[in-house]
Structure 1
Amino acid sequence: MKWEGNRQSDNVEDRRDSPSGGGQPVLGGRNIGLGTIAVALLAGWLLGINPLTVLGVLSGGGHPPAPVQQHTPAHRPPADDRMAKFVSTVLADTEDVWTELFRQGGSHYQQPKLVLFRGATPTACGTGQAAMGPFYCPGDQKVYIDLAFYETLKHDLGAPGEFAQAYVIAHEVGHHVQHLLGISDEVDRQRGRVSQVQYNQLSVRLELQADCLAGAWAHHAQASRQILEQGDIEAAMNAAAKIGDDALQQRSQGRVVPDSFTHGSSAQRVRWFQQGLQKGNVQACDTFSARNL
């Protein structure tokens, strides 16, 4: 992927040297082990429950965990941190693409923040855990990532490559776009109004749309800045396939439970990323009207 020398975003917060951004995860003031996190993740896969909610219950509370206080102010990443420069450049590229697309649609794009952390960090959605992988919090309009996830993506999940890493950022920014358009809020309002299986199906459509929006970003980034190199598209599609619900469930529990899918199968995630990449527009990413995912 061709990214070096391109603009870096000013919307990156580095919390990696914060007491609440490193070390053992802290939840609501209590330390929790990786076993607890694993239980929360498994419950999320099987039941479609937000892992933050499960973590809150397992740590002694019946509601999402209260944010941990952050004592060290966030700052920009060091200039010599190559991986931080990479994600800052990818974020800047998403800013350029979505600013223009929103402008063409007659509206203003509100840029999200990208937070780098280690272990655990406070968010408006509760305490974010590195074990959950990258995530977007609509409450503060921030994308959170522990950069160690990229090692997991490469070595444990078998999805190497810089464009695979960029896809991860673009997917989470896709959730921000959904938030700005009111799509994710509408899905969230259905919680409790429909069955768990039906809500899981809505969640799958939401996630597949974020994959499609990530593909739409890549379409325009390539057209404007020629960022792609040989093998980049294959790397992104491989990453999408490796984090499909069926692949993750088979890996974690040895069986696949389709009714519990919340992100979509590997084939679905690849298909919708390709759809965005080929079409390059939000209208082509209407997973909620699609008969077949």
Structure 2
Amino acid sequence: MEWKGRRGSRNIEDRRGIGSAGAGGMGVVGMLAVLAVGYFFGIDISPLVGGLSEPQQTAPRQLTAEEREIGQFVSVVLADTEEIWAEVLATQAGMDYREPSLVLFSGAVQSACGGASSAMGPFYCPGDRKVYLDTDFFRVMQRQMGAGGDFAYAYVIAHEIGHHVQNLLGVLPQVNRARAQAGQAESNRLSVLTELQADCFAGIWARHAADRFGSIQPGDVDDAVNAARAVGDDILMEKSGRAPMPDSFTHGSAADRSAWLMRGMRSGQIDDCDTFAAAGR
């Protein structure tokens, strides 16, 4: 993926060098309570990192050269999503795109949705319309998920921006209300459909970014599809030593996640990403 030397976004809030003070006082129980009502739709990587923990106080520090470069990469990808979704929402939904902010953090972070540990993976908070990303997640993807590559990392960002698009379209508020009144199985099903739609929206971004910027190189699409499969619930359960149980899925299987990503790439159309209609609801 060609990204160096290209325009970055102004909507980056970098908190990585300012230190952290745990998970904002909520603790693990508080974070799980937030998850239960559907505020966070991030990628739960706790099976790969040994469970949730509340990070200790860390002192301010200087960012490494690698961290600065990753920050630049994230900024360029975010700028691409801004351009693409401004055009797509205007032409396909007749609405303006309101740009979110993206917060880079290390270890733990506070959001309008509460405190969170990096073990929860990247997430979008509809309360403040911000995406939160500990860029160490990219290292986890490469070393523990076998899903490295710039376009794979860009897919993760685009997926979280997909949740922002869902929020603008009114999907997230509707899902949260439905999940609050549903039993566990139905709540999980709605969560899966929400995640798969965000994958499809990431595919829309990829399709239009390839056409508009010409930044996609051979093998990039394979990297993104591999990343989508790597964060499938069945794969994460298997890696944590558990048998995959579809009723407990909250993000979707590897096959479904990669399929909806590719659907968005092939179509480029919001209407073709209606996972809820496809599921008969």
Q: Shared fold by TM > 0.5?
A: yes
Determine if contact 1:48/1:262 at 8 Å carries over to the other structure: no
The 5 A counterparts of 1:185-200 are: 185-200=173-188
The 5 A counterparts of 1:148-227 are: 148-227=136-215
Q: Deviations over 1:112-131 (max 9, x none)?
A: 00000001111000002111
Runs (5+) with no aligned partner, structure 1: 53-70
User: For 1:237 and 1:126, how far apart are their aligned partners in 2?
Assistant: 31
Give the 3-state SS of the residue equivalent to 2:240 in structure 1: helix
Q: TM-score under structure 1 normalisation?
A: 0.82
For residue 231 of structure 1, what is the aligned residue in structure 2?
219
Q: Deviations over 1:41-96 (max 9, x none)?
A: 8x99xx967698xxxxxxxxxxxxxxxxxx99xxxx99992111100000000000
User: For 2:142 and 2:250, how far apart are their aligned partners in 1?
Assistant: 23
Determine if contact 1:98/1:217 at 8 Å carries over to the other structure: yes
2:66 aligned with 1:86: no
Determine if contact 1:48/1:200 at 8 Å carries over to the other structure: no
Determine if contact 2:25/2:115 at 8 Å carries over to the other structure: no
Q: Give the letter aligned to residue 269 of structure 1.
A: R
Paired-residue identity, %: 48
Q: Deviations over 1:119-148 (max 9, x none)?
A: 111100000211111110000000000111
Give the 3-state SS of the residue equivalent to 1:115 in structure 2: strand
2:98 aligned with 1:110: yes
The range that moved more, 4-13 or 171-180, is 4-13
User: For 2:113 and 2:192, how far apart are their aligned partners in 1?
Assistant: 20
Q: TM-score under structure 2 normalisation?
A: 0.85
Determine if contact 2:81/2:161 at 8 Å carries over to the other structure: yes
Determine if contact 2:147/2:230 at 8 Å carries over to the other structure: yes
User: For 2:37 and 2:117, how far apart are their aligned partners in 1?
Assistant: 15
For residue 3 of structure 1, what is the aligned residue in structure 2?
3
Post-superposition offset of 1:3: 1.2
The equivalent position to 1:101 in structure 2, one of 82, 88, 92, is 88
Determine if contact 1:48/1:260 at 8 Å carries over to the other structure: no
Runs of 4 or more above 2 Å deviation: 27-30, 47-52, 77-80
Question: How many positions carry a matched residue from both structures?
Answer: 260
Structure 1 residues 29, 195: CA separation in 2 closer, same or farther (over 3 Å shift)? closer
RMSD across aligned C-alpha pairs, in angstroms?
Answer: 2.9
Post-superposition offset of 1:26: 1.4
Post-superposition offset of 1:291: 3.8
Post-superposition offset of 1:17: 1.8
Post-superposition offset of 1:282: 0.5
User: For 2:105 and 2:111, how far apart are their aligned partners in 1?
Assistant: 11
Structure 1 residues 134, 228: CA separation in 2 closer, same or farther (over 3 Å shift)? same
Runs (5+) with no aligned partner, structure 2: 41-58
For residue 228 of structure 2, what is the aligned residue in structure 1?
240
